[in-house]
Structure 1
Amino acid sequence: MNNAYLHFKEESLSLKGQFPELNLGQTEDGIPTFEGKLILSDEKSNPIDSYEIRIVCSIDYPQSFPFVFETKNRIPINIDWHVHTDGHACLCTWPEEVIYCHKGITLESFLSEHVIPYFFNQKYREMHGFFLQERAHGKLGTMDFFKEKFRTSNLKLIINWLEFIKSNPEPSRTNECFCGSGEKFRKCHRSEFREFKILPVETIINFIQYIKLSNPIFKN
């Protein structure tokens, strides 16, 4: 059996006490799942709602997110509801997933940091007609991630800074930041440098190429 599947099964079994309404299962193809009722609780651990879900292990878990499905047709299969056409949840942008997975995820952290907040957001939309926090979809959402992360809307600068991170060691904490702001590195983009520097060089190159291919300003 795929090592990812074995790992996922072991983690699912270890979470039974923490998520008693979710159970280890499998798809018709034998891919392990963690499925059942996900309880949403308030700050005092009082249940406020629940969703029937199915989490399907990805082939290279934990290098990528498992796939999350809401199984009772409560949430429309519509990208405006952050649901892909095949029914699995859109939890975050592609580069965010890459960074989260590289830092290391477990099924427990995936549930607490991504799945539960996602369904709380769905609950909020059901109640109020809009999401409490929402980013654009697809390429626009990915560009928004980079702009928010580097605190600029200038994609050419973002590419330059990613190139710098890819090719250079970490600057001294008292150096001026590589972004040109005049601020000390430790007070400016140090956390962003460290977050991207731990990624494989190939991943940073992929980010740069994605930005270039997704924006007409780089066509010529």
Structure 2
Amino acid sequence: MSDARRTHSAAERQTKRASFLASVVAAIEQSQPQLSIVATEPTIIVDGNYVLQGPGGPFDLYEVRLIIDYRYPTYAPKVFETGGRIPKDAGRHINPDGDCCVTVWEEWLAKTQNTTFSQFLWGPLHEFFLGQWWFEIKGEWPFGQRDHGARGLLQAYGDVLNVRPRQEIVLYYLRLLSQDWPKGHWLCPCGSGVNLRKCHRQELCELHERVPSVLARRMLRQLRLNLGLAVRHRKVRA
């Protein structure tokens, strides 16, 4: 790569970073003014109070820290509850490293058309802390809950794919969707034993539009990691 191209690429990256930072600032100012940006390199770090909103206005708050990668939404923000209000255990949806299990990120990306940071603040993050607030009062989760670890991923990915959350079914679907395009001579994942071209190829092609190969590969990698399987991606045999 020439020096001129390197300079252009670096300038383009800086422009994208500045644009994303501006969108984060705008989202916080509009919906969560008790949060503030305390650092912008190498990631955006946000500290302060996350305010829960209801029909009657604000009704509670949680002290938080958000660590936001500039490559959002490819990478999910890390969210930490810093006030000590939420017990640090899996039963309260806190991961082993202390960050909040806000949502299954790949599921949200697959189901949501608007994945802006502003939507993240009002969507998954608000639902997470609303659920915590409700659990404190009622001792139950308002939106239900999934299992933790691999079983929870299977449930979430099964919902995305609209299939039963069985390991072999979800893995095979994700292997197919990880390819650039489903081939007609592959076996149909419905279990019929028939090639795709004679079975559910059209349905799988429509699913591929909603779960593109880049996202499917991420889902496959996450699931294999949680199942303790090798993460190297293997192509479906012709």
**TM-score, normalised to structure 2's length?**
0.67
Q: Which moved more, 1:91-100 or 1:81-90?
A: 91-100
Q: Provide the alpha-carbon RMSD of the alignment.
A: 3.8
Equivalent position amino acid for 2:221 in 1: N
Contact 2:109–2:115, Cα closer than 8 Å, also in 1: no
Contact 1:94–1:142, Cα closer than 8 Å, also in 2: no
Equivalent position amino acid for 1:22 in 2: L
Contact 1:69–1:89, Cα closer than 8 Å, also in 2: yes
The separation in 2 between residues aligned to 1:144 and 1:209, in whole angstroms, is 14
User: Which residue matches 1:93?
Assistant: 104
Matches within 5 A, 1:1-220: 6=18, 8-15=20-27, 16-26=29-39, 31-42=43-54, 44-58=55-69, 60-93=71-104, 95-96=106-107, 99=110, 105-132=115-142, 133-150=144-161, 151-167=163-179, 169=181, 179=190, 192-199=207-214, 202-203=217-218, 206=221, 209-210=224-225, 213-214=228-229
Contact 1:67–1:88, Cα closer than 8 Å, also in 2: yes
Offset of 1:117 from its aligned partner? 0.7
Offset of 1:178 from its aligned partner? 5.8
Equivalent position amino acid for 1:163 in 2: R
- Secondary structure of 2:47's counterpart equals strand
Residues 189, 122 of structure 1: CA spacing in aligned structure 2 closer, same or farther, 3 A cutoff? farther
Equivalent position amino acid for 1:77 in 2: K
Equivalent position amino acid for 2:137 in 1: M
**TM-score, normalised to structure 1's length?**
0.72
Contact 1:41–1:48, Cα closer than 8 Å, also in 2: yes
Residues 30, 140 of structure 1: CA spacing in aligned structure 2 closer, same or farther, 3 A cutoff? same
Q: Which moved more, 1:46-55 or 1:112-121?
A: 46-55
Contact 2:104–2:153, Cα closer than 8 Å, also in 1: yes
Q: Which moved more, 1:57-66 or 1:45-54?
A: 57-66
Which runs of 5 or more residues in structure 1 are unaligned?
172-176, 216-220
The separation in 2 between residues aligned to 1:191 and 1:19, in whole angstroms, is 38
User: Which residue matches 1:218?
Assistant: none
Contact 2:176–2:182, Cα closer than 8 Å, also in 1: no
Contact 1:12–1:34, Cα closer than 8 Å, also in 2: no
Which runs of 5 or more residues in structure 2 are unaligned?
1-9, 193-197, 231-238
The separation in 2 between residues aligned to 1:165 and 1:91, in whole angstroms, is 25
Residues 168, 11 of structure 1: CA spacing in aligned structure 2 closer, same or farther, 3 A cutoff? closer
The separation in 1 between residues aligned to 2:71 and 2:180, in whole angstroms, is 30
